[in-house]
Structure formats: C-alpha cells, structure tokens
Structure 1
Amino acid sequence: MQLAVTLTDFDLIGPFKRSGADVFVVGINGLTHRYGKTFSLDALPRLHAAIRATGAQMWVALNGLYHPAQLPVLQAALDRLANDPPSQILFADTAVYALAQDRALTKRLIYHPETYVSAAADLRFWHEQDIGGIIPARETTLDALMYMGRMSPLPLMWVGHGYINMFHSRRPLVRHYLDHTGHAYPEAYHAKRLDLHETTRQDAFPILEDDYGTHVFRAKPLASFAELPKLSPWLNTLIVQSLFLNDEDVATVLADYRALLDGAALEPLVEKYASSCDNGFYYKQTILEKKRGVNP
C-alpha cells in the first residue's frame, strides 16, 4: 500500500519522502480547493522533476466543480498535463473526465467526488468508464470500505488522515457574516483557517473561505491507525491530507504510518493519536432506515 500526502511547498518534498511518502498530491491555482497552498501551471514541470528524482509519484488534484467560464483554464491545464502526465489526476466534476478523454488521460483519472461513491455499483460504473482509480465517500464506514475493497475492480484510494470537510457552500459565508456584523473583511481572512464556535458545542470547527465558497471541517482530524491492519489489504493508497497541520506533524504522521505498515506495534500508535484525532465515520452509520411499523 502506498502513502500519499498533499504537498503545499516545494521544500517539503525531501522531508516528506524521507518520512515515508510514496506519492505527492499537488493542487493548481484556480482549479483546486481546500488544499491550502496550490501551485501555478508553470511550476508543475519543475515540481514533477523534483518528485520523480526521489522515486515518488506526483498526482494532481482538479477537485473543483467548474462553471462554464472556468472551462478554458481547465482545458489549458489538461493540455499541459497531457504533455507531462502526472501519475494520477484526482477529479470530482465529470467535465474533467470528458476533457480527459480527448487527451488520452482517462486511465490516469481518480474519481474523488467526496460524497457520491457509496456502493459497489459506483465502482463497476467507473471501471466501465476506463478510469484509473476511485476514492469512496468520506462517510463510508469501515465495514463498507472493506466490502468495497473486496468488490472493487478499480484500485481503491482513501483519505485516511487529516481534517475532513463536512459542509460546503458556494456562498462566501465568512464575508457575509462580517458584513452583517459591521466588520471589515481583510484579505488576510481569505483562504485562511478560522474557527467556528457554537454555544451548544464544546469543540470548535475549522472554517475556510476560498474562491470556491465556504468549507467547514470536523473538529478533529481523522486518524486511521487502528483501522489500517483491516484496510491495508484492500487499499492501493492511503492519503494524508495536510491542510491545517504543521509540517513537522505531517512528517511525523507519515513516519508513523510507514512504521505501522513495516510491522511496528499498533497499540502505541493508536494511543499516541487518541486525544488529538478521532475515527471519523468508520463506526457511524449515516443512512437512516425506516423500521417496520414506525412512522418517520
């Protein structure tokens, strides 16, 4: 099983590779959201060469939902990627799939819509579309994820560590809130972490506003150390999402997953992250089923 990490700085390639990363996932300015820092198209060849020199792979995230006005930029990006293809391209909008077909890139696509892939039928459908991999919905339970891994005709990837987005609006809600309360909206707030505090909850929720709208995340990052022994036979790649984590912590997380994959003891690693992380939706069923004889 490979370890992937979202990359936000050229200088982190070496440290993250030494910590155990096999794959670096990078975002492109104006086409990638929720990655913190992204890169220009002009920077990609140098970035790709540096990553290849370490023996690792570069993946590119095109995970936005694109309006018609953005399609020329998306087409230009895919033209550049076709000339120097990354190992994989993460996508959510099917416009990426349609444009990739014209550029012989479909085999490099990984479908990552965040919520839609929730059944074995989804895996079969996308296998028929001849793409290269798929990432199940973030709400997938451990049992369902293992089942999908057994049934999948496609390589299965999974975002197994980091802050998980739980709400997205195209509206600039942070700006609207500050306008409503009579505060200015300095650009320092744009694409920067803020925290949402509710009087009825103890935990604060990270919130981020960028060019794609407003994103609210779970209070604690997901960790998958306890689940990794069950997941590793079925996963092609475990992705560490570095958003909101400092660089030293990301390097430590990568090293700990690598150690576990190499045979390190499980319990100390589970205990190490028990207070700072949670287990996401692994044990939370999000589908409500109507019981016989009970009205909803």
Structure 2
Amino acid sequence: MRGGKGKIHHECRQRGIALVLVLWVIVLLSIIAGAMSMTQRTGVMMTGNIRQEREARALLNAGLNFMALMLERRNRPVEDNPWPVDGRLHPFSFRGRILWIGAAPEEARIDLNQARDEVLLGLFRSIGLEEDQALALRDAILDWRDKDNSRHAEGAEDRDYRSEGRPIGARDSRFLSVEELQQVLGMTPEVYKKLVGALTVDARQRTVNPAFASREVLLAVPGVTPEEVDEYIAQRRQAREQGLPVPMPAFGGAFFKNSMGTRYRLFAELDLADGKKAQAEMVVDTRKKTRKGYMVLQKKFGKPGSLGRAMLPQEEG
C-alpha cells in the first residue's frame, strides 16, 4: 500500500510539473504573439507614414512645379493671374487636394554673403538678441566669410573653434547655404530658427526688395523703429488691396531697391490627414533654363517652422 501511494504521489507530481510547463509555454507564446502583433502594428503605421510622406512630397512637388510654370505669367495683370508673384500663398487644387502655393523674389531676403555689418547687427537685434550676443554673432559671421585669419573684435577664427573642440575652424569663404550658418560659433538652434526665414545666399546683392520683405528684414535697417516698420507694412497691405503699386518705405535709403531680379523662391503648403502640415520651397533662376524648366538652385521639404516663414501670409493675413 505504501508503495502504491508513493507511486500515485510521484505521478501527481509529474503531472503538476507538466501543467506548470504547459502554463509557461502558454505565457511565452502569448508574449511572442503580442510582440509579433505589436511589430505588425508598428510596421503598418510605418508603412502608412511612409505612404503619407511620399504622397505629400509628390503633391508639394506638383505645387512647386505649377508655381514655376506660373512665373511665365508674372508680368500679367493680377486679374489675369490667380497665382501672382506677390509674396503670399494662394489656393491650388490638384488631384482633389488643396495646396497653398506662392512665390516671391529672392531679393526679399538678406543675402548672408553680401549683407553689410550694420544690417546683420540690425537683424540680430530685430529677433531679440542682447547687444553682446548680437555683436559676437555678427563678428563670427564676418570671420567665417572673410578670407583672412584675422579675428574681429568679438568674432571667432580657427583657434577659437579649436578651443571649443571643433577642429575644422572657420570656412574663410562665402556661405554655400543658409544651413551652414549653424556651424558658426555662437549660433544656437533657437536663434537659427528665428533667422532662417530672413536670410538667403542666392540674392547675390546687398539691397533688399521691401515690397516682399518680412518684418524682421525691415527691422534690420539701422535706426528704424518698430512703429515705422508697422506703418509701412500697413501701407503695403493697403496698396495690394487696392491693386496699386507697393510704395517704397520712407526709411532704409540705399538698403532698399524695388527690383524683382531673376531668382524666385517658390513655396507650397499642404494640410495632412492627421491635422499637421507639410511644406516645401524651391529657389529657381529664371534666367537659366534646363530641359526640365528653370534651373533649380535649391529645394527643401520640411515641417512648419523648419523652412522659416511662409513668406507674407502670417504678417498680412
């Protein structure tokens, strides 16, 4: 009897162990199934995001290309051209979607390679930099773009970059892009974000076209007051509403030139399904053509804020 009870106890113990093992296997299979399900969901989401991004880029490209085509009509009367070169965004329907497209002369921005010292300083003040930070950044930019290794009073040359653990040093040549400004000693992401919409390397001139310039650019004029700038912006808006030529400001003197030039910045914006926006911009030279149209000097895609301001819509409603 005692042996029979031991045998029964042994069998019960084996069954118990087997049950525990089965339960552990079930738990492991559940974990694996959950992980696979999560991986599949993530894959589906990534696929959806990639599809949305590709679709957005295709639509934005269509908007930019259409706006480039409309540059051929830039000298026609406004009533004969729904997409004028006026620095503002206008609706454009394509494949059942509404895009907002527009164009402005590149001369509406301050050329980073041509700007005078006092204009750069005025621009930095206009975005709220303290005087010492504005002077240091101005001088660092001058040291970056000049050919010598002589340091401006508050600037930065190779030895300053090396002391900050940046062995490449100053370029000692012209900026190739506005993005390069982020490599200048003293530049921060916050300051760059405020500056990017006011600067260019493609205007190739020291003057600015005030009819399309942003408030930050207008405030860069040495000695100008915010009240004078706001009064001019109101005059500019009123002239457009009445279909009249935009007047020249009473301030600025030789800094301003009412010239359209040959280079234009085109802009496209699209509302996405998730409530966000996608943007793109392209700079073209109408004086030069390729088999595909005007020569493209640069093209960028990004989220709102990463490309700077969308020309004048926020300013002029």
With the length of structure 2 as denominator, give the TM-score of the two structures: 0.28
The structure with more helix, counted as a fraction of residues: 2
**Bigger CA radius of gyration:** 2
